[in-house]
Chains A and B, each alone.
Chain A
């Protein structure tokens, strides 16, 4: 049987007002054959995880440019664990210093991407993760 289609939710927590980057990534994932639930701007961690539960997604992708990545990623991860989504991938992008990335990785958060990463890298990463985490 063919691999099941990967379902991803893309959201932008926090108050900063641009979702161009998030939309570009969402479109790229769609073109790579994924089903992408797009939540849009200014989502609270609670709202994101609530939607992720209803959509039963494989992957949550956050776009965070506001600098508040530590709190947002940790909070979303905490809520995911609480709501039974501990086995799903939390990943995302923004301008996130390497040392913060390391800390977030320790907290169980997946790879984080920056402006220098190309879209194919993100697609490959999600595909590889999905393949190695069947459910």
Chain B
């Protein structure tokens, strides 16, 4: 198999630019994803992925930067993926999280990548899991993934991260109502940031009330609730200690492994769907013009299943595994 990426050697020799360029390929060149996955997955070193999520402006970036700063002081290598929303109208994105990460500038043991959420609707970009794996294979031991600032349950981070930290701030008591049904049920840790601001006690009370009401599935323990003032690097030691404790627990209970397998399972399913779709398109030729089909169905008042059945009679797919990265056209 001839490689379509000419800088693998540089990547494995530790070139940061090669790492960055590989991430760009994953973002912009879907056709190269199979090759990249083939090379990266055997090189995974088991980095733990920590999702940092929460409403807009609560201090996710500041917490991320402070936490990363602490970890690199302890000799760890930290990868950061900071996701900001893409405009659904223009496709553009303002990626501003780095402004809060000035303490990490130029640090060779940190790699920060901003990502636009693009087609992702769950607070991440669809390619974020691949980016995390690239940073893992490159040698980062903890990957911090800052999601888009979200008010509602945005759950992509659950699939992608081993651990989820939900960041809140005083004055977001009402937000809790909105979050209740979603991510609060699955957060592994809740961090009340901006503890220097008024309203801390009432937020803590609200959280306590919520958990007393049994907002979580029985199987999940109530998450630790910590407070911090990330802007002043306060409470971050405790956050780190608690995270490491959780990670240890998850590693020994086999949960980390389970998460990894679930991610792999998801990718296999997506890859099969993708493969079948491509094969189908090649085999069906012009019949696979879905926009055209939609028009015809609409005109005739027929259902999509009618179309599929009809097509199934005329198009047959052969599923082969040869030629893994090439375009397969019969």
Contacts and interface: CB of A to CB of B under 8 A. Distances in A.
A35 interface: yes
Contacts of B114: 37, 55
Interface in B15-61: 16-17, 20-21, 23-24, 28
A133 to B, nearest CB: 15
Nearest to B113: A54
A5 B117 CA distance: 13
A33 interface: yes
Nearest to B94: A30
14 contacts: A30-B94, A33-B91, A35-B116, A36-B93, A36-B95, A38-B95, A39-B98, A40-B99, A47-B106, A51-B98, A55-B114, A56-B17, A83-B17, A84-B17
Interface in A50-73: 50-51, 53-56
Contacts of B86: 35
Interface residues of B, number: 26
Contacts of B90: 30-33
B112 interface: yes
A99 to B, nearest CB: 33
Contacts of A43: 105
Contacts of A34: 92
Q: Is the interface of A mostly helix, strand, loop or mixed?
A: mixed
B96 to A, nearest CB: 5
Interface of B: 16-17, 20-21, 23-24, 28, 86-87, 90-96, 98-99, 102, 105-106, 111-114, 116
Interface of A: 4-5, 7, 26-27, 29-40, 43, 46-47, 50-51, 53-56, 83-85
Given A31-B90, A55-B114, A38 B28 contact: no
Contacts of A51: 98, 105, 112
A83 B96 CA distance: 23
Tell me which of A7, A29, A85 has the highest count of chain B C-beta atoms within 10 A of its own C-beta: A7
Closest 9 CB pairs of A and B: A30-B92, A56-B20, A40-B99, A47-B105, A37-B95, A4-B28, A56-B24, A33-B91, A33-B92
A55 B98 CA distance: 11
Contacts of A47: 105-106
A83 to B, nearest CB: 7
B21 A36 contact: no
B28 A5 contact: yes
Nearest to A30: B92
A102 B87 CA distance: 37
B91 A5 contact: yes
B53 to A, nearest CB: 21
B240 to A, nearest CB: 23
Nearest to B115: A35
Contacts of A4: 28
Given A5-B28, A47-B105, A36 B94 contact: yes
A53 B24 CA distance: 11
A26 B86 CA distance: 14
A31 B111 CA distance: 27
A51 B16 CA distance: 11
A85 B18 CA distance: 11
Given A33-B90, A35-B86, 14 more contacts: A4-B28, A7-B24, A26-B94, A32-B90, A33-B91, A36-B92, A37-B98, A37-B114, A38-B99, A50-B105, A51-B105, A53-B16, A53-B20, A54-B16
A38 B101 CA distance: 12
Given A38-B99, A56-B17, A56-B21, A31 B112 contact: no
Contacts of B16: 53-54
Nearest to A38: B96
B283 to A, nearest CB: 22
Nearest to B99: A40
Nearest to B112: A54
Nearest to A11: B98
B91 to A, nearest CB: 5
A32 to B, nearest CB: 6
A134 to B, nearest CB: 12
A55 B94 contact: no
B77 to A, nearest CB: 14
Nearest to A28: B92
Contacts of A83: 17
